Homo-oligomer: A and B are copies of this chain.
């Protein structure tokens, strides 16, 4: 039967995932010990193993949580904005606002620290949450005639490129909310300005 305790298991698990997200995404998988996570959650290290089978499972749940949030946000952007440039700017804005630390760290961990058996699942999540919405925006833009079909950059490669541009803007550490808002606003504009019109003087 379900319990009603001061701190429910659900709350503890959410606490663990949120704490682990902050730590893993800033320092990387290897650099964060299970003791560190437990300490910052206010519990002891073996207590983690009541909620998750091992360290990797915590990491995977963190990644899953991030991807789900992203997928929802991306869907909203595509719903609320029709213009290609607006869409790219809004997606960039979301990523700067919500992805602390560098995401590159996450991709490195997924490639080198996480068991191969989970790669396919994660790649599927990533396609749904990150890749497809950006690719859709670009191909629709090309179809509508907003966006050039560049010979040296076919749609898939262009998508990777745009995602990498976005990643490169992520701030290294957590800022206070207002500073981050203004940073995200400035950088998302800069990205679309360069991406759409380039730096060449005509």
Q: Does A108 contact B (CB under 8 A)?
A: yes
Assess whether B200 is in contact with A196, with CB atoms less than 8 Å apart: yes
Q: Does A27 contact B (CB under 8 A)?
A: yes
Q: Does A98 contact B (CB under 8 A)?
A: no
A27-B112, A31-B112, A164-B165 given as contacts; is B190 within 8 A of A194 (CB)?
A: no
| Complex alpha-carbon distance, A152 and B200, angstroms | 15
A161-B190, A164-B165, A168-B164 given as contacts; is B201 within 8 A of A148 (CB)?
A: yes
Q: Does A46 contact B (CB under 8 A)?
A: no
| Complex alpha-carbon distance, A31 and B109, angstroms | 10
- Which of B165, B167, B195 is in CB contact (< 8 Å) with A198? B195
Where chain A touches its partner, the secondary structure class is: helix
Q: Does A133 contact B (CB under 8 A)?
A: no
- Which of B161, B186, B193, B200 is in CB contact (< 8 Å) with A197? B200
Complex interface bits, A79-101 against B, C-beta within 8 A gives 1, otherwise 0: 00000010000000000000000
- Determine how close the nearest CB of chain B comes to the CB of A176; give it in whole angstroms: 20
- Which of B102, B113, B150 is in CB contact (< 8 Å) with A194? B150
Assess whether A197 is in contact with B198, with CB atoms less than 8 Å apart: yes
Q: List 30 A-B contacts (CB under 8 A).
A: A28-B30, A28-B108, A30-B30, A104-B108, A105-B108, A145-B201, A146-B201, A147-B200, A148-B199, A148-B200, A148-B201, A150-B193, A150-B194, A150-B199, A152-B186, A152-B189, A152-B190, A153-B194, A153-B199, A157-B190, A158-B199, A161-B194, A164-B168, A165-B165, A194-B195, A195-B198, A195-B199, A197-B198, A197-B200, A198-B198
